[in-house]
Structures are given as C-alpha cells and as structure tokens.
Amino acid sequence: MTDGVVEGADVAARVALTWLAEPGNRVVWALVKAHGATETLERLLRGDIPDGPLRAAVNARTANADARKVAEAALRRGERVGARLIVPGSPEWPPCVDELAGLEMTAPGRVNWDTRTPLCFWVRGEHPLHETLDRSIAVVGARAATSYGTHVTHEMAYQLAGERWTVVSGGAFGIDAAAHRAALAAGGRTVAVLACGVDRPYPVGNTAMFERVLAKGLLISEWPPGAEPLRHRFLIRNRVIAAATAGTVVVEASARSGAAQTMSRVLALNRRAMVVPGPVTSAMSVGCHELLRTHPYARLVTSAADVLEEVGRAGEYLAPPPRGREHPRDALDEESALILEALPRNGTSTPEEISAGARLGLRTVLRRLSLLEAEGLVVRRESGIALARS
C-alpha cells in the first residue's frame, strides 16, 4: 500500500469510528492510540472488544447500516458542502486538544467518563484551524440570557476580538450568539463548535449568523455531516470548547447548565476559568456565583481588560485598578486635610480658630494655608479664610 492509501484508510476509519461510538469514547480512543484507526475499526466490527456497552452500541449501529459505507457517504457529503476533515498529525490539527487525553472527571455518567481527545474534526471556513485557535478565548453562557448578560457579552467579546483574540462559543441562542455577533461586528474571527454536522448548524434560527461566521471564521464539529444535534452531544462538545482555548468566560449560567459543566472541564484542564458576576436576584447568575463560591481558581472578571490580564503573557495586559473621580484633596498631607476639615462649609474662620479646630500650631496653620491657597482650595477674605467654591 502507498502512504496515500494508508492515510485515506485511516481517515475513513476515524469517520466510521465516530459514527459507531460518540466522540471522546475512552475505549475507542485507547484502541486507536495502541493499534491505529483502521485496526480498531476492524476489531469493533468483529466484536473483538472487552467493553460490553461499546460492543452493544456497535451492534446496534451496524444492524441496518455498513460503517464503511456510512463513512464514505459522509466524506462525499463533506466535500459537497466544502467541509474538510482534520486528523491528528495534520498541519491544521490543534495540539491544545490533545490534553484531553489526560482529562479525568469525578462526576458520574458516560459524559464525564468519555472525555478523550477527538479522533477528527470537520471544518468549514477558510482559516487554518490550528492558527485560529492558537490565540482564542471561549465566551459561553445561558441560552435564556438577560439583557444584562447580552450587554456584558457584547462589550467583552467585541473588545477581545479587537485585540485579535478569536472568540469561541457554541452557536446557541443567548450568550453564545451575542459573543459570535460581537466578534463579527469588531471585524474579528470567531469559531462555533457544533454538536451536530457542520452542514446543518443548530439552532436553525441562527442560520444567518452561521453564514457570517463562515465568512469570517470557522464552523467545526466532531460529528460527520448530516449528524443531528442530540441533547447529550452538547455536553460531549463542551470538553472541546474547554480544551481548544486559553480560557473560558462564563457570563450567565443557571444552577444546572451546560456553561457550568464546561467550566468544570476548564478547571480540570488548568485553563483560565473566568466568571462574570450578576445580580444576586437573577436566576441566570446562580450558576456563576456558585462557581465563584466553590472553585478557588475561578476568577471574577467584569471587563475584557480583566480577561486579557488573565490569558495574556506576563505583563502583556495590565488592567488599571478601578478608581473613582480624582479630587485635589486626595493628594493632601494629613495636616492640610485637618485644616480643610476645620473650615466651615459656609463662612470664614481666622487662622487662630482654624488652629484650635485642627489642633495644630498657628505657625503650621499659616504655612499650610499658603499652600492650600496656591492649590486653589482656600481663599482669603476680609473676614478670614474660606473654602474655595468647587
């Protein structure tokens, strides 16, 4: 066999394996790692696997369809819609997702057990996948977003895109859509990580937005073209969002939400975990506040500057500390401040009266009054010293 035939067989086998078992399957990934994709496919189709549930799933999938033919049809369909298949070892493969090989989640359930590295990515869009994700931040949150959440998301994602960071999200209604649209408005790149085929991005209500994403960024998915957006696939997809980016910002999340689940993967992968606080009366911020309360490594962020300070290289972004409006009095020494406090809000005082009120010596008061007058904080009148009008 030539290298091209071997490579083509490997690619087709990876497509077939993703159809037979959901992406991230721990057993399939380990077999591919040890024996390669083509041999793993042969073993699964022969039933030569120790995992009972996986064997049953393969039998159910192949009862009425041929895995190899399904893969061939998917590859043809992908070619028709302009989708390319990226596999490990390809120049476009993002190495950041390889860290999923060591991701261990303690929560029960298959979604938390099967968190391994993708076997392949289907990609639509002109930009190289690796380059696009190399400098990226995920912004995720509730579908039922509030006006507060969408406003914060738009401001944050717009500024991140303006700093040439790729904004990654899941393409859903609410916070996801606000993040994608803000990045597009800023003229930046954005990536939608889908839980279905790249030829049928979901939800349909965001079709116009997805078309704009294609023009400026990428649509990517582990599932072959034509795959349906099943509920559990969104939870499987979230591990990719967590691994593919330098950090993730959760803007709004209810008590039990996919955004909060994504953040558990972010924390487990030692990525930057950032949370936007919200009103304590809002049900859409309960999950955010719980993340901040229970995870010491989750950082509170309120602006793009905060986010950039977290994900940037040391010293690259330094957010200035928040300050109120500055007043000339802020820089006064203690004696000058005492003198101002001793002056009445209205009317005048003599130096002797100020000395008594400030409990300072008269010579000190006279010296400080000259400085305060030069600063424009006091004025001299015939009847004495008065505060200058602001």
pLDDT tens, residue order, the chain (390 aa): 345 555 789 999 999 999 999 999 999 999 999 999 999 999 999 999 888 999 999 999 999 999 999 999 999 999 999 999 999 999 999 999 999 999 998 888 888 999 999 999 999 999 999 999 999 999 999 999 999 999 999 999 999 999 999 999 999 999 999 999 999 999 999 999 999 999 999 999 999 999 999 999 999 999 999 999 999 999 999 999 999 999 999 999 998 888 889 999 999 999 999 999 999 999 999 999 999 999 999 999 999 999 999 998 655 666 566 666 667 677 788 999 899 999 998 899 999 999 999 899 999 999 999 989 888 898 999 889 999 886
The pLDDT value recorded for residue 309 is 94
Fold of 81-311: Rossmann fold (3.40.50)
The radius of gyration of the chain's CA atoms, rounded to the nearest angstrom, is 30
Q: Are 87 and 120 in contact (CB under 8 A)?
A: yes
Delimit the domains of the chain by residue range: 1-77, 81-311, 328-387
Total Cβ atoms within 10 A of residue 251:
34
Q: Are 12 and 42 in contact (CB under 8 A)?
A: no
CA distance 71 to 245: 29
Which top CATH class is 328-387?
A: mainly alpha
Other beta carbons within 10 angstroms of residue 12's beta carbon come to: 20
